[in-house]
Amino acid sequence: MSESPPTVSLCLIAKDERVDLPRCLASVQPHVDEMVVIDTGSGDDTPELAAQLGARVEYFTWCDDFAAARNYALAQVRTDWVLVLDADEELVVAAVNWRDALTQPLLAYSLPLTDAGNPHDLTPLWVPRLFRQHPDLRYVGNYHERLFYRGGALPMTRTATLSDLGLIHYGYSPERLQDKELHRNIPMLERLRHRQGLSFLLLYSLAGMYTNTGQLDEAQSCYAEAGDRLLPHLLTGEPPTEFGYVPSLLFNLGVQALQAQDLETAQLLAQRGLEWCPTFPPLIYFAGATVRALGFRRGRSLILSTV
């Protein structure tokens, strides 16, 4: 007697998503065994609409923590596998036998995510959205949450890509991004900033959001805070352990230093930039500009020749 095929549940967290939710659920419903929607405090009829569209609706009290909300959602799932979407995404099924992949001894599959505004992009983002319902697979991070296995990164030997399924994201238009930044992301990150402080990554992200929404003084405040926290590392030469966005941060701080004619700071940033990330092109260019500003034109040519 053959074993039953693995079961799959959609797992989705939502707030005030009545516009996008019908498209998302309609794209998923024919292909999964259940749909679980976790409402995080909607002021509209998102929960009622989700139920009408066939989802099982549960509720989570929002606490400025995307990982906590997603992990609560995972705890409500009753199937073998979990398919995670956001309400502004749509599932595309390229092969009807996609569930055959779920019999492999893997933990997770990454699916291609395409921007609806750029459907012919040849380099989609691959995101781990289809994975086993397993107690050791949980999200980490208040914002920019990531799926971890036993507290660390997903092991590459137990993950794979799956092109039989794809995701289309409708939330990348400039108008929608700006609205989300103004009314959700910036307020949330500022609450976290004052409550517990932000990582370099989130400070850099917040500065970018303020810049995108025309709030340049607030953006500069974020850069200044990041620079103050980075200064001890610049002086000792010891790179911070949280290094992900430090190269971009060094470049932005360096450009500001050059614009302010603060050549001493620019020189230090260029020096550490070349030490810590010698193959990052923006920092190589910045180092060349710094050498030129210091009056060493030949040095600029030598630095730029390394690109």
Q: Are residues 88 and 209 in the same domain?
A: no
Summarised one tens digit per residue, pLDDT across range 97-115 is 999 999 999 999 999 999 9
pLDDT for position 250: 96
User: Between the CA of residue 166 and those of 147, 160, 180, 290, what are the distances in Å?
Assistant: 18, 14, 24, 45
Q: Are residues 76 and 153 in the same domain?
A: yes
Final residue before a domain boundary, out of 134, 169, 204? 169
**Residue 282 belongs to what domain range?**
174-304
pLDDT for position 270: 95
Asked if residue 3 belongs to a domain, the reply is: no
CATH code of the domain in which 62 resides: 3.90.550.10
* Better pLDDT: 242 or 101: 101
Summarised one tens digit per residue, pLDDT across range 166-192 is 999 998 888 888 999 999 999 999 999
Q: Are residues 155 and 258 in the same domain?
A: no
Q: Are residues 206 and 226 in the same domain?
A: yes
CATH code of the domain in which 232 resides: 1.25.40.10
Total domains in the fold of the chain: 2
Q: Are residues 34 and 96 in the same domain?
A: yes
Summarised one tens digit per residue, pLDDT across range 30-41 is 999 999 999 999
Q: Are residues 146 and 204 in the same domain?
A: no
Residue 307 reports pLDDT greater than 70: no
pLDDT for position 1: 45
Q: Are residues 23 and 88 in the same domain?
A: yes
pLDDT over 70 percentage in the chain:
95
Q: Are residues 28 and 128 in the same domain?
A: yes
Asked if residue 2 belongs to a domain, the reply is: no
Segment 63-71 shows an average pLDDT of: 97
Summarised one tens digit per residue, pLDDT across range 251-305 is 999 999 999 999 999 999 999 999 999 999 999 999 999 999 998 866 555 454 5
Residue 144 reports pLDDT greater than 80: yes
